[in-house]
Amino acid sequence: MTSSPAALSRPRLILAAIFAILVYGMIAAMLGTLLPELSKKFNLTPDEMGTIAFAQALGLIVASVSVGPLIDNKGKKTGLLLGLALIAASLFMLPNATGYSMILVWIATLGLGGGIIVTAANALVSDIGEEKRATVLNLLNLFFGLGGLLTPLLGANVFTGNAIALCYFTAALTALTLALHTFTRMPPPSGERGFKASEAGSLLARPPLYLLSLFLFLYVACEVGVWNWLAKHLIAQGLPESTALNILSLGFALGLLLGRVAVSPILIKVPAPTVTLAAAVLMMVTTYGMLQTADPTAAAALVFLAGIAMAPVFPTTLAMVGDAFPRMTATAMGIVITSGWIGLAVSSKIIGGIAGTDAAKLKTALLVLPAASAVMIVVNLALRPMLRKA
């Protein structure tokens, strides 16, 4: 027996989605928090750490391109339960890894669960908040920033030097979230198909799709570069591990969180392409600046400003996709989001490859971030006239 929308508890659904996105925010920051301890325990080189980050990205990519049909056919609840179960399992097993290969397996599983959660939770809230979709989705993704803040903050101040305890804590929170979703009634499968083969040609022939994909690819490459490598870079500059993790949480993650709050009223009056152009310019300046100092106060300030600059890019880019593609919107968004996950994979692999076995070279390798931001500016300028026509 299916539940009508009226029979569903909207507050309960929103709460369930919030906890799912919070969990995803925590695991998004997990790798950057764990890498310093994992590298010590298993003598990992920067190149091996880059491969570990690639494994997580591969899981996200596989999930983003495959979970849509599952959600359409079986419902969002099935997707959420599957994603949360994979995350909980990987977090419970990761502390028991005995070597590099096993770490790769469980980090890939973590990425797979995370990719499922991102799609399913946003789809759920998009449905139940249809009349104010942009506002509700923007508020939902604030909890991604909160989760990203909590992981390094807990790693630095509660579970100091104990990555195993941090994994188990996050796994327990994920298990509780899984229980909440299990006992929450959710909308049944819609039966709708976002993709129509007969219209695929016209969608794929439109240049804005590729420029938006490239823009998000570059952005995610920058964001994940900070999440995964900033703490390691700061430690190589002589900062204590706890200080580096606090800068990552109270600097970058807090900047993302507050930036999304601040940009909401701005987007009412300022067009999305202009907001993302300004964000790209600020990203280029701040990411370059944060690599030029070993002073913890200056580094924290610049990292915070980098978080502010990056905050609006992901959700605002998806808003531009929705504006440019009023038909087959979900398909277009799926392509653009998948490009973002590919950026996640490529970023860490490139940074790790440039640094090689020398952690001191991370400063040079991380110049990839301001360089990618500069390319974002060029892409945005090329995209603007196309979006006006659309």
pLDDT tens digits, residue range 343-375? Answer: 877 887 788 888 776 666 788 899 999 999 999
242/351 same-domain check: yes
84/206 same-domain check: no
pLDDT for 193: 43
324/297 same-domain check: yes
Radius of gyration of the chain (CA): 20
The average confidence (pLDDT) of the chain is: 83
Q: How far apart are CA 324 and CA 53, in angstroms?
A: 32
CATH value at residue 37: 1.20.1250.20
Name the residue with higher pLDDT: 226 or 245: 226
Answer with the one of 137, 157, 191 that is the final residue of a domain: 191
Answer with the one of 176, 191, 206 that is the final residue of a domain: 191
Question: Cα separations (Å) of 181 from 66, 254, 335?
Answer: 21, 27, 27
249/367 same-domain check: yes
157/273 same-domain check: no
Does some domain include residue 1? no
109/145 same-domain check: yes
Inform me whether the pLDDT recorded for 75 exceeds 70. yes
Does some domain include residue 2? no
Contacts of 306 (CB under 8 A, 6+ apart): 226, 252, 255, 282, 283, 286, 287, 290
Does some domain include residue 80? yes
Does some domain include residue 81? yes
pTM of the model: 0.73
pLDDT tens digits, residue range 168-214? Answer: 999 999 999 999 999 998 877 654 444 455 455 666 777 899 999 99
323/358 same-domain check: yes
Answer with the one of 163, 191, 219 that is the final residue of a domain: 191
327/371 same-domain check: yes
Give the residue numbers spanning the domain of 381: 198-390
pLDDT for 1: 38
347/218 same-domain check: yes
218/135 same-domain check: no
136/225 same-domain check: no
Amino acid at 351: I
Q: How many domains does the chain have?
A: 2
